[in-house]
Amino acid sequence: MLDCGIGCGSLSIALNSILPDHVAFYGIDMSAAMLATADVMMRQTGLLPQLKQADIHSIPYADQSFDFVMAAHVLEHLPEPQRALNEMIRVLKPGGMLFVCMTRRSVFGALIQLRWRTWAITERQGVAWLQDCQLADIGFRPVNLGSYAGKASMAFWARRPTKERRKLQTERPTAY
Ligand SMILES: C[S@@+](CC[C@H](N)C(=O)[O-])C[C@H]1O[C@@H](n2cnc3c(N)ncnc32)[C@H](O)[C@@H]1O
């Protein structure tokens, strides 16, 4: 699996407890400091991640490399979130799963969006992007991680079909 904008590796570490033992963890991030922290934290939990400093808009892996590709609280920070989404889908194998977690519209979400100038992406917009990418089995739910920040999140998931006809997306998200 590939964790894009892996940060400290929190989501990969959390998912490790529910994924099969043989899963290989890969991660990319723009920040060398974040990657160094992720390496330490993941090794402390017994993971041996393959980490690379890279931009999610240009993922340094071949087409159809991964069974599972995810990004948590990354897309809403990007200048071109849909380009990043297309990159994530490019490196996903047909039949593979995409998982994206983002800030959602809420009082706390509005504070985050004002503080970090992130995109305010709505559920409808997120689902429309995934439909535009010709993805299948699209799902959505608000996420409550039990913290204030957790209440301001939402998650999308979708499968890359084994047979597809992809097209590029053009709609931009709404600025908050
Ligand atoms: C809010 S943090 C989320 C970290 C982690 N995914 C999590 O949920 O804990 C956003 C992360 O995305 C990284 N990031 C921002 N822009 C990026 C880009 N263009 N390509 C790759 N990583 C990026 C940042 O360095 C940071 O580690």
Please tell me the predicted confidence (pLDDT) of residue 106: 72
Q: pTM of the full predicted structure?
A: 0.89
Nearest ligand 1 atom to the CA of 71 is: 6
Q: Which ligand 1 atom sits closest to the C-alpha of 7?
A: 27
Provide the residue ranges of all domains of the chain, joining segments of one domain with +: 2-159
Three-state SS string across the chain, please?
CEEECCCCCHHHHHHHCCCCCCCCCEEEECCHHHHHHHHHHHHHCCCCCEEEECCHHHCCCCCCCEEEEEEECCHHHCCCHHHHHHHHHHCEEEEEEEEEEEECCCHHHHHHHHHHCCECCCHHHHHHHHHHCCCEEEEEEEECCCCHHHHCEEEEEEECCCCCCCCCCCCCCCEC
Query: 29 alpha carbon to ligand 1 midpoint, in Å?
Result: 6
Tell me, what's the pLDDT at 148? Answer: 57
Ligand 1 mutation pick, 11, 26, 29, max ligand atoms within 8 A of CB: 29
Pocket of ligand 1 from Cβ distances under 6 Å: 5-8, 10-11, 28-31, 34, 55-57, 72-74, 77-78
Q: Which of 2, 30, 39, 80 to mutate to test the pocket of ligand 1 (most atoms within 8 A of CB)?
A: 30
Ligand 1, atom 25, lies closest to the CA of 31
Residue nearest to atom 12 of ligand 1 (CA): 5
Give 113 or 47, the one with higher predicted confidence: 47
Q: How much is the CA Rg of the chain, to the nearest whole Å?
A: 15
CATH number of 2-159: 3.40.50.150
Average pLDDT over the chain, rounded to an integer: 87
Q: How sure is the predictor about 52, in pLDDT bands with cuts at 50, 70 and 90?
A: very high
Lowest average pLDDT, out of 128-132, 139-143, 172-176, goes to 172-176
For 1-17, what is the mean pLDDT? 95
| Per-residue pLDDT tens digits for 25-39 | 999 999 999 999 999
Ligand 1 midpoint to CA 7 (Å) = 5
